Structure 1
């Protein structure tokens, strides 16, 4: 005779009714259905732990968990035991990992990454970074666990930025997201940097530089400035002429206090704290920048001193003299002169670099130091402390007519 099987049938499970006391229906291999007086039916597995102690594991309620599903879970538990893993501990660890994964949202990880980087950034960079993330990234994917994000989720967020015409911001935030994923990988929170694979999902940007006229266009520019058809205030016109003569960055010029200028010696020294490389949080350049002034530049500064010398700044704000003019003042002035899209404040530096090297024949290192550029070779920068003051002074004192005379139609 065939031995009667002890395994349960689906009908037995379905028809299991509650009694006054809890009872069990066994399916074999430690699996049983526990029926409570309340009518609830729970699948459980009785097994021996690796240390020999008896333990029980719950698989969930019937009918949510069917007989077939309960048997499959029993098989999974037995495989774990064969591999030396306690199924109850495995379940608890899985639950813990799921909770941690849900808690490790993209926004949470991004803010942790941000906190590690803030000490190395300027206040302005830090502010811009978090504002961009809060405005464009967090609303889209911030609440999602970082390990559950897909390529498509990030692409959608970035293309929304691109579609509103902010292509440059989209590319920058793509790079930021890549850094956040890299940080998450290093922290063991995900296994893959999704953004690294996204090389072609955004429109290709054309390489662009700050708009700048060339030396051949200088006569026309100076003629327009002299005629003042744009009806600019005299300090603004002086600022534009100084940009042509001293080659400093726009912010370095407009934020200059009179205390840095020695009109008697015709000397201008910018403290390193105000220079771009001096503002670096990590390894700032603590070298003061000597702005070599030509006779023309000194004459302009004296003229300007008669207008604004009673205040703190060379170029005070019209509404609040305790503050300098804004960065946009130079750009707006150029636009009013008809040079919108053709010239910028930074363009004066590009114009100086190309013109002095090509038309006046000065060495690249001398012009570079006049522009306060950092040597590209880090090893060389560690040893090269030369300021080239003599050559820079001679270069700065070359009259503007030397440049104009080299223009093709002057």
Structure 2
């Protein structure tokens, strides 16, 4: 059974060391002297090893379990948690400042304010899960093409080829930032040209026959569903913006006098203001819709909650 704080406090030292097991290799070792030490047994490369997780009560049960789970995640990715900890701990201060992870964290801090939250989260997660365990502790100026390729091959084994290429891109971005800031001299990712399997291009469904496009537009004009959905369908081909940007359109962003729709930086992937010109047809659609939704925030509010934008599936359902 898993341990509880009550059981730990109730356990008394004996004349011999003994263990209180918690599961997944973790246990609390209680010595005759009264010392209580968190340990985790694991196997790596066919060898049984033990990892120290801290001393109770300085490290409570919850934190010990978190450290165990982190170690198990490293094992699942083929990393020896003991060696990873040693490599991280043994770096001196100067090496730490110039380690790949340190430079990458600095690069992230500099550029994430310009990215959307989702984009920043994806890159950070990719670095933390797929790159830092193997390259994080290395000095950025000592990383070789072989080191990078080894990391990328691990990702390739999962069959996620697009992630392989994105990881290579992120590694190169970090190292080029290190070069620009005087902490490295060359980018080893440049030597990997042709070493990775190509991404199989998947094209989005589209209509390329002009007659079929005309048929779709006529179908939109004849749509019998929600009036707001119909307006969104009619406006989409006039603006050429992403569906998410369209459904988050706000009345305060629209200026029919200057015939512009100004999308603020926080809504754009690259965190830069984007101005969309409005044709006379687009303005006519908006002015026709204004009496219905103009008193609210969103041009295309949700059907169930006017204070939220239209669902991302609404237009797709209308098209189907």
Cα distance in 2 for residues equivalent to 1:143 and 1:111: 12
Contact kept in structure 2, 1:151 and 1:195, CA below 8 Å: yes
Picking from 185, 199, 214, the partner of 1:219 is 214
- Would you say the 8 A contact 2:260–2:277 is kept in 1? yes
Contact kept, 8 Å, 1:110 with 1:180, in 2: the verdict is yes
Give the match for residue 23 of structure 1.
Answer: none
Within 1, Cα distance between the matches of 2:95 and 2:254? 59
The higher-RCO structure (CA 8 Å, 6+ apart) is 1
Matched, 1:183 2:177: yes
After TM superposition, give the deviation of residue 207 of structure 1 in Å: 6.3
Is 1:312 paired with 2:297? Answer: yes
| CA shift for structure 1 position 258 | 2.6
Q: If the length of structure 2 is used for normalisation, what is the TM-score? A: 0.55
Corresponding position: 1:114 with 2:108: yes
Return the offset for 1:136: 2.8
Task: Give the conservation status (yes or no) of the 8 Å contact 1:236–1:333.
Answer: no
CA distance in 1, matches of 2:140, 2:147: 11
Q: Name structure 2 gaps, 5 residues minimum.
A: 1-89
- Runs of 5+ consecutive residues of structure 1 not aligned to the other structure: 1-95, 338-410
Per-residue displacement from partner, 1:101-156 (whole Å, max 9, x unpaired)? 36633211211222333455555544443233223322343234434544343224
| Structure 1 counterpart SS, 2:296 | coil
Once the two structures are superposed, the pairs formed by residues 5-404 of structure 1 within 5 Å of their partners are 100-101=94-95, 104-118=98-112, 121=115, 125-164=119-158, 166-205=160-199, 211-214=205-208, 215-222=210-217, 224-225=219-220, 233-261=226-254, 268-271=259-262, 273=264, 279-280=271-272, 289-294=276-281, 297-298=282-283, 300-325=285-310, 329-330=314-315, 332-333=316-317, 337=320
- CA distance in 2 between counterparts of 1:102 and 1:298 reads 57
Q: 8 Å contact 1:158–1:174 — kept in the other structure?
A: yes
Name the SS of the counterpart of 1:205 in structure 2: coil
Cα separation, 2, equivalents of 1:124 and 1:293:
34
Kept in 1, the 8 Å contact 2:178–2:184? The answer is yes
Q: State how many pairs are aligned.
A: 229
Q: How far did 1:204 drift?
A: 1.8
Cα distance 1:270–1:187, how it changes in 2: closer, same or farther (>3 A)? closer
Cα displacement (A) at 1:183? 3.0
How far does the alpha carbon of each residue in 1:148-177 deviate from its partner, in whole angstroms, 9 at most, with x for none? 544343224334444545433332321221
Is this contact kept in 1: 2:99–2:138, CA < 8 A?
yes
On the 8 A contact 2:239/2:278 being kept in 1, the answer is yes
CA deviation vs aligned residue, 1:309-330 (integer Å, no higher than 9, x gap): 4421111134543232355654
- TM-score, structure 1 normalization: 0.45
User: Secondary structure of 2:280's match?
Assistant: coil
Out of 303-312 and 169-178, give the one that drifted further: 303-312
The CA RMSD measured in Å over matched residues stands at 4.0
Q: Contact 1:260/1:268 (CA < 8 Å) preserved in 2?
A: no
